[in-house]
Structure 1
Amino acid sequence: MNASAPKPLPPLAIAPIADADIPAVVALWQACGLTRPWNDPASDIALARRGPNSTVLIGRDGGAIVATAMAGHDGHRGWVYYVATDPERRGRGYGRVIMNAAEDWLRAAGMAKVQLMVRRENAQAGAFYQSIGYAEAQTIVFAKWLDGRAPTP
């Protein structure tokens, strides 16, 4: 095999999340450290499933959910959230596969650009996104809680 040839991606069955998948997806997000006390993951899933501009994709290896990505768009650019791969199965290419699926979903929705946010302390995630062609944008994200809560990290 040619050393410079790209490694083939693993076959994952990609599908939108179903009701029965929610507990396993939330557990995966928790195992990956993606949840925060101020964001209820089940509510985030429900919101993403509510309209046509967002989805939660899951990747299955056999019957096991091994990868997820939440994708959505504002009509101008796409966003990806909750990218997760089973910590026990990392290094198998599942992250690339689920990101390809999210990008394909956004492309089909007519989006030309995709963005995502990575916490500064998560160097491993930053390195992963750079390895699949993402570049750090020179923008600052500002946030405000509309219900009056104090800013969160």
Structure 2
Amino acid sequence: MSSLSIAPIADADVTDVVALWQACGLTRPWNDPSADIALARRGPNSAVLVGRDAGAIVATAMVGHDGHRGWVYYVAVDPRRQGEGLGRTMMQAVEDWLRQAGVSKLQLLVRRENAKASAFYQTLGYEESTSVMLAKWLDGREATP
């Protein structure tokens, strides 16, 4: 296991966190990652957690809840550091954050084509849900994959 120092994102971290998300292929043209960070930081029901090793940001996870279910997004590990247990450590921090908030169920989304991510989450005890996710853009855009 890793010895990450995990804490909420600071203002000075935003650029490095967005760069990590881009390096990990997590960003999409229709989502502004800086706006996602700002939104997550607005209230007590969400946070962006940053994992540091020797001062460098090497892992992240965005976590939030609606009071009933927790969600996690932007789980990222520096591609040069993958396979070292950093993702597992970040997910443990996410689960701990939700437990402290009194939330007992965590859900996450994985793109169908991302078998590597699905396999990772299954090693942590996550199972594919029988629910079907439906989506609608409220700004008039067409649905995207």
Q: Same fold (TM over 0.5)?
A: yes
* Secondary structure at 1:50 match in 2: coil
- Residue equivalent to 1:69: 61
Code of the aligned partner of 2:40: A
Code of the aligned partner of 1:108: Q
Code of the aligned partner of 1:121: E
Q: Distance in 2 between matches of 1:134 and 1:26?
A: 26
**Could you tell me which of 27, 46, 52 is aligned with 1:60?**
52
Q: Does 1:34 align with 2:12?
A: no
Unmatched tracts of structure 2, length 5 or more: none
- TM-score, normalised by the number of residues in structure 2: 0.99
Q: Deviations over 1:73-100 (max 9, x none)?
A: 0110100000000001111000000000
- TM-score, normalised by the number of residues in structure 1: 0.94
- Residue equivalent to 1:147: 139
* Secondary structure at 1:134 match in 2: coil
Q: Does 1:127 align with 2:119?
A: yes
Larger Rg: 1
Give structure 1 regions of 4+ aligned residues with deviation exceeding 4 angstroms: none
Aligned-residue RMSD, C-alpha: 0.5
Unmatched tracts of structure 1, length 5 or more: 1-8
Sequence identity, in percent?
72
